[in-house]
Amino acid sequence: MQPGISWLLSFLGFTAFGFFNFEYRYLDNLARGIHHTFAIHLFEEMTGTYVGLALFPFVIWAIRRFRIRRDNWRIMVPINLLIMCAFSVADTTGMSIVRSLLSPLFGLGQYDYGIMLYRYPMEFAQHVLFFWFAVGGIYAFDSYREARDRQVASADLEARLAEAQLQNLQLQLQPHFLFNALNTISSVMYDDVRRADAMLARLSDLLRRTLQTGHSQEVPLGEELALVKSYIAIMEERFGDHLQVEFAVDPHVMRTLVPQLILQPLVENAMRHGRNPQTSKLALRIAAIQEDSNLLLRVQDNGPGMSVDSSDQMSKGIGLSNTEQRLLSLYGTRQQMLLENANGLRITIRLPLHTEAVSI
């Protein structure tokens, strides 16, 4: 809560307290048949209230400065009792001075507060209640604020941790496909310099697109497809007619946000393992369609499929494993990554359809 609002609420609270005290005393006089006390009771209660309000910041500071805890109560309880007594003396003295100065100005004549020897203990009884009520209120408010701050800090820490984990996965993935691309170029540079030069140009375009996205976790599908096409262009220089790629993308989903580098590891996996062993050709189909409120991304090859271990689980490399972890971190249970052997390996990713960045 902003300080200005806090003090406005304090002012209104003290004012209401003073008015209710005035109402009680004035109506009590009327009930006893005592009249003409409206002005004096209003004057006394409101001046008393605002003197207390003037001292309230110091009371708050002292209560927080000498907070009573389990490990210090033997020292802090006596100190708080001294603070309470000091507040009582200051408030009673302040009321006497303020009323004596203001009473003539309001046309009430000289103010007589009575014998101060009795006034101090008389007011002390109310001050004890006020002080410990303030202690309880301040402790409760501070505890609530500390709990809220801890909750916010915890949520912020979790968000930062999730962001760090995602960036770590992303940073693992980028060098992974970069090194593979360089190895591909290296494999042809001594046999065909022209092709190697063309592949380097394609790699330069690929790196430019990657750097343009920066550390964003999500990019529009159109940008992701452009990056994948740059990667495929490098592979086409290497495999020539042995590589056939088909895109089937719904134009209405091009602006949908997807995780950066979500398709490239799927395509790379197909490049490495998806060639038909009989013809050495790779037919690759990349699709993106809308299904209800979800986006389906699918990469299908015509290879031998993926081997299955004894527990009926498909083994995944670094690219597919990182992709799976990133999806889980970004979307939780709202995503799905499905690997199927269907005339080759078919990888389907289901994402929530959205055009604004998700909150981690």
Domain chopping of the chain, boundaries: 3-113, 159-352
Over its length of 360 residues, how does the chain's per-residue pLDDT go in tens digits?
A: 666 787 888 889 889 988 998 898 889 899 998 888 899 989 999 999 999 999 999 999 999 999 998 889 999 999 999 999 999 999 999 999 999 999 999 888 898 888 988 989 999 988 999 899 999 999 998 898 888 888 887 776 566 555 545 554 454 445 666 676 677 778 777 777 887 888 788 778 777 766 665 556 788 999 889 888 888 887 787 777 888 999 999 999 999 999 887 888 888 888 877 776 666 788 899 999 999 999 999 999 988 887 765 444 556 666 677 788 878 878 888 899 999 888 888 999 999 999 876 655
| CB-CB contact of 135 with 115 (8 Å) | no
> Which pair of structure tokens corresponds to residue 262?
């979500």
Total number of residues shown for the chain: 360
**Alpha carbon distance 222, 251 (integer Å):** 9
Q: What is the DSSP string of 143-163?
A: HHHHHHHHHHHHHHHHHHHHH
DSSP annotation of 215 reads: T
- Helix or strand or coil: residue 209? helix
How much of the chain is helix, strand and coil, in % rounded to 5?
Answer: 65, 15, 20
CATH fold of the domain at 159-352: Heat Shock Protein 90 (3.30.565)
How many CB atoms are closer than 10 A to CB 141?
13
Q: What is the pTM of this model?
A: 0.50
